Structure 1
Amino acid sequence: MTSAPENPLSPIEQDAREAAVRRLQEAYAEGHITHAAMDEGLDGVLTAATHADLASVLSSLPREKAPTTSTIAAAGGRIRRRGAWRVPRRLTVESAFGAVHLDLSRAVFEGPEADIELRLGTGRARITVPRDAVVDIEGLHTGWKDLRYRTRQPSRPGGPTIRISGVMGYGRLKIRHAWR
């Protein structure tokens, strides 16, 4: 969850409420709280009117884990990930020469959001995202060729948010949504 606002009496926005629900569910899944405590906490989160109310519901939970960061790197050659692989909250992909193919369609995401930073020299890159994913490419800079990405309309709620940033030198990036 993001840091608390300066005014704890301010109303709760939907994102903060959803993050609190996820945090309770994760605490239950990890065995930190009982089913009854999760039900009570969910009721408190859903009826909370201010950030102070929300903070009091979450105060008994263990601290959130710091997001994990991983790097996939190759000086030359191919980088390929597909199937049911684990995607950390922050992933850096580095390749000086060669092709990169990340298939996230059946990947297991560590959280509801994933930040993927590309540091690519030459070569093409292809990223397949889940069908219901929301993709943000605002932080990506391409050198020689533009990227190919068409947003999927309409997107079903509940999919991961994938932020793709970084730098691509010479080559094309193609991002597509999976069919299934």
Structure 2
Amino acid sequence: MTSLPENPSPPISEDDRDTAVRRMQEAYAEGHISHEEMDEGLHQVLTAKAHSELVSALASLPAENPGTTSTIAAAGGRIRRRGVWRIPRTLKVESAYGRVHLDLSRAVIEHPVVDIELQLGTGGAKITVPRDAIVDVEGLRTGWKDTLYKPRRRPGAGGPRIRISGTMGFGRLKIRHARR
């Protein structure tokens, strides 16, 4: 009988692969890697089967500068971030109309505390946080519906603290912990 590994590497999404290709191209354009290194890295990224292979292909690249504050804004439509992306210390999300979906489960979180400030008019928001994250929604004001969040019974040790603040007009915030 063959045993499965305890924590298999998660599969690679198209967003993950696209982000890795972009990072390779940016590193080449900024002069951090040679043309040959970029070709080899792109080959690794495009043929990777597991998330761990993707991380390995990007390990030699300089870290992206996450900055301290970033803003994602849209007057209407959907705001969606998922896959491997770098979370700044403070993330502001602004939308007059439309839904917001932030998936932080595979994001690179380099800060022990991350502040997410929501300024939403109409439309709901869904935030998926890492399994071991501690979530604080005390600073969020909702106008129409309450926030749906059920804290974990045993919060993970060492996980990031995610503080969600701001205002939501007509819509509901749903927060859930990633399963893996």
Shorter chain as normaliser: what TM range? 0.5 to 0.7
Structure 2 partner of 1:70: 70
Give structure 1 stretches of 5+ with no counterpart: 1-66
Structure 1 partner of 2:90: 90
Read off the aligned partner of 1:87 and give its amino acid letter. I
CA distances 1:83-110 after superposition (whole Å, capped 9, x unpaired): 1111000000000000000000000013
Q: CA deviation at 1:156?
A: 1.8
Read off the aligned partner of 2:100 and give its amino acid letter. V
Read off the aligned partner of 1:174 and give its amino acid letter. K
Distance 2:120 2:152 in 1: 25
Whether 2:130 is the aligned partner of 1:127: answer no
Q: Does the 8 A contact of 2:134 with 2:156 survive in 1?
A: no
CA distances 1:121-145 after superposition (whole Å, capped 9, x unpaired): 0001000000000000000000011
Read off the aligned partner of 1:168 and give its amino acid letter. M
Q: CA deviation at 1:112?
A: 1.1
Say what the alpha-carbon RMSD is for the aligned residues.
Answer: 1.6
Aligned-partner SS, 1:138: strand
Give structure 2 stretches of 5+ with no counterpart: 1-66
Structure 2 partner of 1:116: 116
Superposition pairs for residues 2-13 of structure 1, below 5 Å?
none
What fraction of aligned residue pairs are identical, expressed as a percent?
Answer: 74
Tell me how many residue pairs correspond in the alignment: 116
The structure with more radius of gyration = 1
Q: CA deviation at 1:118?
A: 0.1
Q: Does the 8 A contact of 2:128 with 2:175 survive in 1?
A: yes
Superposition pairs for residues 141-156 of structure 1, below 5 Å?
141-156=141-156
Q: Flag as ranges the 4+ runs of structure 1 deviating above 2 A.
A: none
